Amino acid sequence: MALFILRRLAALLPVLLGVTLVVFAMLWLAPGDPLLALVGESAQGMSKSALEELRRAHGLDRGPLVQYLGYIADLARGDLGVSVRSGQPVSQEVLSRFPATLLLAGSAMLVAVALGLTLGVLAAVYRRSVVDHLAVLLALLGVSVPVFWSGLLLMLLFALDLGWLPASGYGTWKHLVLPALAVGFSSAAFIARITRASMIETLRQDYVRTATAKGLGKSAVRLRHALRNALLPVVTVVGLQFGGLLGGAVLTETVFAWPGIGRMLVDAIGARDLPLVQGSVLFIAVMFILMNLLVDVSYAVLNPKVRYE
């Protein structure tokens, strides 16, 4: 197992380096002088010599490769640069927003797993019944309805119309309900789809027929024999969805004024605060990659066959 994890980690290294390269390249993709993108309006009105001084201080007078190596060295020290707007270290800003994003993604995942698994299993067990059609329809809507629209509809109904929950903000569990439902619903659609397909496949297997022939009760066969095996592909989707939620909560965080990394990223793009944009993108991408690693590892724990491939 340790060997498996080490091998996966080694395979991740080039991808992680590639991701840092993409984030580093954002500075050069940005129109105009990279120095202005890094320091913002504070450079305006500076004398030419002061600008050159600043350029040297940021290492922008050296070749791209040297600059990239410098960037990697900074990253290794946990230095993500300084936000143009606030003047605070980017790492500090990102970390201060991370708990909110993690809380939203985690709660949304709970909603998604509960809803998606239930729907998927019911649809597979009662195939071609009303439940199945309903589950398939919900799954289709979940992938077609934009999450910012379902979020706004939830807000309109439960906050503005009925007044049961706050429309936006952060702090109590009540603030969490609507954003978690909005994000959770769209992820539930994927989970329901995969669970249904996987469960249908498993219910056809010989060992399920054997268990039924042995006279085991229907629910025992379905839950203990079929569902357990059907869960394997579901784990992959759940993991990927969770990783995606960390980044994809951008829209929901904007709708509900949720103070997470996603909303900070959108604000930073609007304010042309490039260091903060780069830092947020890098942080979310690394979290996503690590989540994928965790999925691989859990998959290997659940299914020993994977370890030896």
Binds another protein (CB under 8 A): choice among 94, 105, 274, 295: 274
- Is residue 89 part of the contact set for another protein (CB under 8 A)? no
By CB under 8 A, which span of 48-56, 87-95, 176-184, 242-250 interacts with another protein?
242-250
Tell me the C-alpha to C-alpha distance, in Å, between residue 255 and each of 112, 229, 263, 300. 19, 38, 9, 38
Residues sharing a CB contact under 8 Å with residue 77, sequence separation 6 or more, in sequence order = none
Q: Measured from the CB atom, is 79 or 201 closer to another protein?
A: 201
Nearest approach, Cβ of residue 146 and another protein (Å): 5
User: Can you list the alpha helix ranges (DSSP code H) found in the chain?
Assistant: 2-29, 34-39, 48-57, 64-76, 90-125, 130-144, 147-154, 173-203, 206-213, 218-220, 228-255, 261-270, 274-302, 304-307
Q: From the centroid of its chain, how far is CA 157? A: 27
Contact between 153 and another protein per CB under 8 A: yes
State the nearest-atom distance from the C-beta of 272 to another protein, in Å: 7
Closest CB to another protein among 19 and 216?
A: 19
In the complex, minimum distance from the CB of residue 111 to another protein, in angstroms, rounded to a whole number: 19
- Binding residues for another protein, rule CB under 8 A, total 51
State which of positions 123-152 bind another protein (CB under 8 A): 140-141, 143-146, 148-149, 152
Give the binding range for another protein (CB under 8 A) out of 27-35, 69-77, 82-90, 113-121.
27-35
Q: How far apart are CA 188 and CA 241, in angstroms?
A: 9
Q: Of 4, 19, 46, 103, which one interacts with another protein (CB under 8 A)? A: 19
Q: What does the DSSP assignment read for 20-53?
A: HHHHHHHHHHSSS-HHHHHHGGGGTT--HHHHHH
Indicate which single residue of 26, 51, 60, 95 sits in contact with another protein (rule: CB under 8 A).
26
Return the ∠ at Cα 133 (arms to 128 and 138), rounded to 5°.
150
247 binds another protein (CB under 8 A): yes
Q: CA 46, 47, 51: angle at the middle one, nearest 5?
A: 75
Task: Write the single-letter amino acid at 57.
Answer: A
Which CB, 107 or 241, lies closer to another protein? 241
* Residues found near another protein in the complex (CB under 8 A): 14-15, 18-19, 21-23, 25-27, 29-31, 140-141, 143-146, 148-149, 152-153, 155-156, 160-161, 243-244, 246-248, 250-251, 254-255, 265-266, 268-270, 272, 274, 277-278, 281, 284-285, 288-289, 292
